[in-house]
Amino acid sequence: MFSVVPKVIWNKIYPCDENNLCNWSMRCLLIDTGNRTILIDCGIGDKQTEKFFGNYYLNGKDNLKGSIEKAGYTTDDITDVILTHLHFDHAGGAISWNEDKTDYVPTFPHAIYWTSRQQWEWAVDPNNREKASFLKENILPIREKGTLKLVDGDTGLYPGISVRLYHGHTHGQVIPFISYKGKTIVYMGDLLPSTAHIPLPYVMSYDTRPLVTLEEKEIFMKEAAEKEYILFFEHDINHECCTVHMTEKGVRMKEAFPLRDIL
């Protein structure tokens, strides 16, 4: 998760266990605009084998459907799903088994599924480095059985909700920007997995183009500090949101807080 940064340094910031494993979240975001009910990312899902899940040491009692229902909605209520990218830990929950496990169906039957054209084409014909992260059962049924819409570049989807494309982690990663109460909330996906990744050298080994990630991060982080963006983290188990500011060492975290503090 921290690539060239030595463990003796990153372990003080985001500690691992005795097996060298760090605990991460798969935190999705539900947006109710009054006209649309939009879900950003879908987590890992539940249709893979026990052996597959055993490799990732999933823990906690939350699941996607239960969390949506806890918020007062159902899977039928979701009108849009924005998939930042199609790695299994972000798109796995988009598709589910049918009742008798004979076929795959969209988890959100009434939803438009959004991602970028670049990411879709990258995922359906994967390179050998990312092939294990793009599972065809998570991806192909979206087009075959659901409503798939592809964006070609930075664009607005709905009033107050726009997306930008980034290419360091994987080609065509979609990062949503949400206008809310005069602020901009940015769903960070894998552009910035956690607060521990704010310093520029903290780039994941998972990134296919780490030097591109460095360039993208540097530009984005300066903008985030100047415009006081609220960064919403998908993978940081300790912090849901933070703001950043410029310091003599570069951009650093200013304040961390739960999302409910700004609702």
pLDDT of residue 173: 98
Copy the structure tokens of residue 56. 């990732």
Tell me the domains of the chain and their CATH numbers: 7-262 (3.60.15.10)
pLDDT of residue 172: 98
pLDDT of residue 65: 95
Query: By CB neighbour count within 10 A (0-12 exposed, 13-18 middle, 19+ buried), where does 14 fall?
Result: buried
Can you tell me the distance from the alpha carbon of 122 to that of 131, in angstroms, rounded to the nearest whole number? 10
Average pLDDT, 10 consecutive residues per value, the chain (263 residues): 95 94 97 97 94 92 94 97 98 95 95 98 94 95 93 97 98 98 97 97 96 98 98 98 97 98 93
* For helices 117-124 and 136-145, angle between their N-to-C axes, nearest 10 degrees: 120
Give, as one character, the DSSP assignment of residue 4: T
